[in-house]
Structure 1
Amino acid sequence: MDLLTPELGLFFWTLIAFLVVFFILGKFAWKPILGILSEREKGITEAIASAEKMKGEMSQMKSENEKLMAQAHEERTAMLKEAKDIKDRIIGEAKEIAKTEANKIIIEAQAQINQQKNAAMTEVKNEIGTLALEVAEKILRKQLNSNEGQEAYMNMLANDIKLN
């Protein structure tokens, strides 16, 4: 049981040692420790304030980013619409040019067809005329082969001359 109840001397010297340590700590250690704790508290407070400020800035940057994304989306949509309009216009112009060229080619082809048709008709008429002359010549030769035919032809020519 002696261990559980301390003697008065032990108590006294323990109290003196405690007071000396307390005084030394109070004189040399408490102020620096409290200063360090105060600085640490300030640092933590500043870090929290800085974090809050950064959080606000991040929120602001996020909203600005969303605005920029919306603006970029609108610009992209406008550019796509403009590109589609340009594409449609170019296709329309190309169709018009193709249509004009096709009509021009058709008109030229019809003119060539008409020209070739007229040339063929003229050639056919010339051939018919040549054939008619050849037939008439053959008929006249046959008729003029005999003396009687020659006399009849001369009489006819003479009668024609007298009438004129």
Structure 2
Amino acid sequence: MQAFTGSTLYAAIGGLHVGDMLVQLVFFIILLILVKKYAWGPIIGMMQKREEYVANEIEIAEQNRAEAERASKEAAEKLRQTKEDAQKIIEDAKHIGGKQEQEIIESARQEAERIKISAQEEIKTEKEKAIQALQDKVASLSVLIASKVIEKEINAEDQEKLIDEYIKEVGEER
């Protein structure tokens, strides 16, 4: 087999020189050090700041959500309590209205009963007055008839005539 020479080695590795590769490797390492020192640190710092900012915003948003949820629950509870209070007020008003209605009805019934009793007493008094007046009239007419009877002797025909006159006088006075 053939021995490799420098030109063959050069051709076998694809035309690359080891010295050029070493120089390029050194420059790449220097570039990495410079990037790490001047670019990577600030980039990582900005990324950390951004991460902290996003985490802080998420935490604030979570707190706001929790506070909004708590406020919503409080508002719902207040609304429920307000509805209960309104329902209680309505029921109390109905109860008071019903009670007042019963009181008014009872008062009107008592007043009607009082008026009825008063009217009955007044009717009774007026009836008694009328009976008394009638009795007085009958008594005076009886005296009148008796005096006429005494003045003259009356026969059956005269007696009937007197009774008719008496009835006629009583009817006219009514």
TM-score, normalized by the shorter chain, greater than 0.5 = yes
Query: Matches of residues 4-153 of structure 1 in structure 2 within 5 Å?
Result: 40-146=46-152, 148=153
Residue 37 of structure 1: CA displacement?
5.8
Equivalent in the alignment of 1:4: none
Equivalent in the alignment of 2:13: none
Deviation digits for residues 19-58 of structure 1 (CA, Å, limit 9, x no counterpart):
xxxxxxx7xxx76x87766655444333212110111011
Aligned residues: 122
Deviation digits for residues 81-134 of structure 1 (CA, Å, limit 9, x no counterpart):
111110111011101111210111111111101110110111011011011012
Please list every run of 5 or more consecutive structure 1 residues that lacks an aligned counterpart in the other structure. 1-25, 150-164
Paired letter, 2:77: Q
Paired letter, 1:64: R
Measure the CA separation in 1 of the matches of 2:41 and 2:107.
95
Q: Specify which structure has the bigger relative contact order, considering alpha-carbon pairs within 8 angstroms and separated by 6 or more residues.
A: 2
Identity %: 9
Measure the CA separation in 2 of the matches of 1:95 and 1:89.
10
TM-score under structure 2 length normalisation? 0.60
Give the RMSD, CA atoms, in angstroms.
2.7
Please list every run of 5 or more consecutive structure 2 residues that lacks an aligned counterpart in the other structure. 1-33, 155-174
Measure the CA separation in 2 of the matches of 1:47 and 1:113.
96
Residue 79 of structure 1: CA displacement?
0.9
